[in-house]
Each structure stands twice: as structure tokens, then as C-alpha cells.
Amino acid sequence: MAEKRTKQQLGKALKYLSRLESGQSLYWCFHDVLGMSNEEIGEAGYNLQEYYVEDTQKNVAAASSIQLKIGADKDRGVAQREPEGVPAPVPYQRLRDLIQSPFLEVSLTHEEEYHKDTPVIPELCIDILTEAGKTEWADILDAEVCQVYMGLNGLEVSLVGVSPSRLEAFSSVLTGQCTDELYEKWVADTEEIYLARTQQMKR
């Protein structure tokens, strides 16, 4: 859990840097300041090969610094402590459970592609989808919610257990980036949403 959280925090930091810098300057931040190797920069999804310089010993060791330290401590007989302040695992929750009430101005991100820019959905709620929409996008609605947090674009919901391409397509539909025919098929109109919410309030 702690390793996953650290990975997510690093991704957010890289995403923030990429908004401030670009090109060779961005590569310098990653490679020389953060000590990332060329391979790590590529794996993070950044196409900066034209600026690559040879990795130093610092870059090569950076990714395995924790393992190296643990190995050294074991050689010295130092007992390893569990990290403090690690958040407890959250109960399993599907997206459809989370969005029973409306979320405004929210982005859906994939756990493994959290560094990518994602469209901001004006309103996300289960009742904005028609029955056909709920069927078509059942894999998205049944995706597991990893965490909900304030990101660079506002409120973000991180999901796992679903294809990143499907998640991107779902977000595109809810931001109107599809044909009118598909939008009308999958997204409820104002009257349908009002009736659905009225029924929900009566329960």
C-alpha cells in the first residue's frame, strides 16, 4: 500500500513538473535533479529521447536505492521497521457505488496512467446514464475505486480493473466528444435525470 501511494505521489509530481517545464529543461529536472534514469523517464511515458545523456552511477542507483539500503542494513544486522503513518486499506468500492450522488467537475484516471491529462467531466452521477449507457459502460461502473483526491485538474477519481482506453472513451462520451447519436443513446436528457433523482429522494 505504501509503495503504491509513493508511486502515485511521484506520478503527480512528474505531472506537475511537466506543466512547468518542457524539452531539455524537463529532462534535466527528471534526470539530474530527481536522479531518474533514462529508462525510468521512458517508462513514465515521457518522450525525451532526443535529450538523453549517459546515465551516471547516481541515476542507475536511484531506482534501487531502497533495496541497496535494506541490503546494507541487513549486512549490519539492523532490524527493519514497518513504515509509520501508512493509511489503512479502504474497503472495496465500485465506481457505480461512489456516484450514487452527483460529483461536479471530476476527472477519472487510471491507476497505472495517473500522469496523463484526462478530460474534466462536468457532472458524474449514475443517473446521467440511460439504461443502454449503463449496459454499454458496465465495465467502467464496476471498476474498483482506488482513491479520490484533489489533483492538478481538481477532483480526481483513480480506478483499477478496467482498460485505460475504455476509461478514456467513457470520459469522452460524458464530455460530449462523441456523435450525437451515441450521446443521446447513452446519456440521459434533463427530464430523465430529474425523474430519476425524484424517485431516489422518495426512497
For the chain, give the number of residues: 203
Please state the domain extents for the chain.
2-75, 95-202
For 53-71, how does the pLDDT look when each residue is reduced to its tens digit (9 = 90+)? 887 665 555 444 433 333 3
pLDDT at 194: 61
In this prediction, the residues of the chain whose per-residue pLDDT falls under 50 are: 62-90
Q: Report whether 36 contacts 59 (CB < 8 A).
A: yes
**Contacts for 185 with CB less than 8 Å, ≥ 6 apart:** 130, 132, 133
What pLDDT is stored for residue 60 in this prediction? Answer: 54
3-state DSSP helix/strand/coil percent for the chain, to nearest 5?
A: 55, 15, 35
Residue with cell 471498476: 143
Its pTM surpasses 0.75: no
For residues 106 and 123, what is the distance between their CA atoms, to the nearest angstrom? 7
